[in-house]
Structure 1
Amino acid sequence: MPPMPPPTELYPWERVTVLGSCALSFLGSGLLVCTHALWPELRTRPRQLLLYLSLADLLSAASYFYGVLQDFGATSWDCVLQGALSTFSNTSSFFWTMAIAIYLYITIVRGSPTGTGLLCFFHAVSWGIPLGITVAAVALKKIGYDASDVSVGWCWINLEAEDRVLWMLLAGKIWEILAYLILPVLYILIKKHINRAHAALSEYRPILARTPAFQPRTSIADKKLILIPIIFIFLRIWSTVRFFLTLCSSPAVQNSLLVVLHGIGNTFQGGANCIMFVLCTRVVRTRLLSYLCCCRYNASDQPPQNSDGHYQQTEPHKNTEVQEIDRRKAVFSST
């Protein structure tokens, strides 16, 4: 392999941008966890898998934030610790993202029932494999300073290791590339199955079109299924590009735009999931707004008074739209 180029210098505006992305991802992942804890009726299996993905993204955002803040210049104990945490959480995030796609494929396309066995398998793979890789990398002293050529200030695989390419692949890149290939295929198959189901029900469409929220819900679900692999690839592709540029010892690896896109792409996965599955999901968004309004009302000093000076007994507001949506919950509304 040709000699490595000089370390990539991080400018203050680059660090601030990536730190902001880390903070937003941390808040977004935290919000996903909170919504799961607040409303037990929304704890469907897809959202349960999304919870574990959010936990991985939460740890990933926190570890990346510390790494970018420190902007390591050499291997140290906290560099190794941060690199180990980010390696474990980032790799786990890949596995949980693919687990969600596999679950949707099994339930929607295959129509196979799923039980606790599949969930246990997802846990064993999505936590076990990243943990095994991380422990081995730390024990063999493969994690350390990487000159920000394959990162944005944080530590990952030490560029001085002779077998660094192998460990870069094991510690993330091979799973990242596999996700690029597997996710689009699974979601294309799911989309084709949905289209065939719609075509089979075409003769009943005039009746179903008069059913409340029938057409909007299915179209929103379809759009979300398409967006999942697109957003994942768009966020992650920049780190893959810099990885190959580093292997080629190309000076383009230090391009400021690539550095920022890499930093945002690696750290904003939790924020993107929050946008899709909280802010763009009507069930969760409506409940979240109702919860915030309720908290604001409870924080007021006293209830309103009538003209006689007595407190009015206000009736709790019933959101009929939320009740209707709750009765119509399905796999699509959960995603």
Structure 2
Amino acid sequence: MANASQTQTEVYLFEQVIVLLSCALSFLGSSLIILTYIIWSDLRTTPRKLLVYLSVSDWLSAVSYAFGVWSVFRTNSAECVAQGAISTFANTSSFFWTVAIAVYLYVFIVRANQRVADSLVLVFHLVSWGIPLGITIAAVSLNKIGYDASEVSVGWCWVRINVKDRVLWMLLTGKIWEFLAYLTLPFLYILIKRHIHIAHAALSEYRPILANRPPAHSFSSMADVKLTLIPIIFILLRIWSTVRFILLLANSNVRQNPALVTLHGIGNTLQGAANCVMFVLFTQPIRTRLCAALTSCSQCRTEAEHPHRLLPEQDAPARREEDSAEGGRADR
């Protein structure tokens, strides 16, 4: 770390183009999540509302990162500080909302307590907006946000590279929450998947009856896929930022490798697009409605006339089957 303030990572034009494209995809993806929530009132479940709050953070991240990548700041200008503050707040908020959704689903599905899960929403707001805002205000007030020589960014501004306690502020303004998300998300989603699989096993004697309901099975399979992909995609996107941070601590020049810098840029900016793919394009009821709205395809219109109702997120037919299982056990 001794020489960190004396170096600078060069951001090449091809890296700018790729990362700006990633920002554009996240901007569009986050916007689509928000618009579908606004347009179709029957899709406004609490988990999808939490997803909208996450999408607001991802939208803000995409815009602020795009401005930073386009500008490739070289000094601690007012624009640099403003961009760094906005991206710091939005990025940290995104971590909190991602974990908040996992906590909600855990309480709702595993603990089977919707009342408690819904009561946590206010806490999620206080934590997911309040903590990032407090940290960002403190960092700006103490002149910690500014030009970082792209050592742990890709053109945008973050923690000033020349402050003595930069590692502490890098942790507070993002990295510590990133590390906690790496641990929390896989743990919670593994518990949720395990609970759903146990519920499925308990329904084995009813399979001949449920076999006549292929849509539910299809939804359940997709829910299982999503529960697997959510933590995996999050880690795959964010790990490159973590790797560059660790390399900075080790004062390794590998952090300046163009491929690693590009992956970092994509990972930090693509979360909104990834969420859109999973929760819009891979969610059949919403995909059907979008298809019907955007095309005159007769098949789309037919499907739109008989949509499968979207259950409380993660396409929760697993919860429906779980309820059936509990009812069956109660009857016995």
Task: Output the TM-score relative to the length of structure 1.
Answer: 0.90
How many Å apart are 1:247 and its aligned residue?
A: 1.1
- Partners of 1:18 and 1:320 lie apart in 2 by 37
**Letter aligned with residue 325 of structure 1:** H
Query: 1:4-15 alignment to 2 at 5 Å?
Result: 4=4, 6-15=7-16
Deviation at residue 114 of structure 1 after TM alignment: 2.8
Deviations 1:255-274 (A, max 9, x none): 01100000000000000001
Letter in 2 for 1:276: M
1:224 equivalent in alignment to 2:226: yes
Q: How far 1:293 moved relative to its partner?
A: 2.9
Whether 1:290 and 2:304 are equivalent positions in the alignment is no
**Cross-structure match for 2:3:** 3
- Structure 1 position 291, deviation (Å): 1.5
2:171 aligns with one of 146, 169, 172: 169
RMSD: 1.8
Query: Separation in 1 of the partners of 2:272 and 2:307?
Result: 29
1:239 corresponds to: 241
Map of 1:333 onto structure 2: 315
CA contact (8 A) 1:2 1:248 kept: no
SS state of the match for residue 333, structure 1?
coil
Aligned counterpart, 1:311: none
Aligned positions, number: 314
The match for 2:136 is 134
The structural deviation recorded for 1:323 is: 2.9
Distance in 1 between the 2:35 and 2:293 partners? 12
Residue type of the alignment partner of 1:332: Q
Separation in 2, partners of 1:229, 1:9: 31
Relative distance call for 1:217 and 1:193 in structure 2 (3 A) is same
- For residues 88-127 of structure 1, the aligned pairs below 5 Å read 88-114=89-115, 116-127=118-129
Match of 1:278 in 2: 280
Deviations 1:279-324 (A, max 9, x none): 1111111011112237xx9xxxxxxxxxxxxxxxxxxx96356635
Indicate the structure with greater helix content: 2
**Given the superposition, is the C-alpha separation of residues 258 and 267 from structure 1 closer, same or farther in structure 2, using an over 3 Å criterion?**
same
CA distance in 2, matches of 1:324, 1:168: 47
Aligned to 1:313: none
**Identity %, equivalent residues:** 60
Unaligned runs of 5+ in 1: 298-316
Structure 1 residue 329: Cα displacement: 2.8
Shift in Å, 1:3: 1.7
Structure 1 residue ranges, 4+ long, deviating more than 4 angstroms after superposition: none
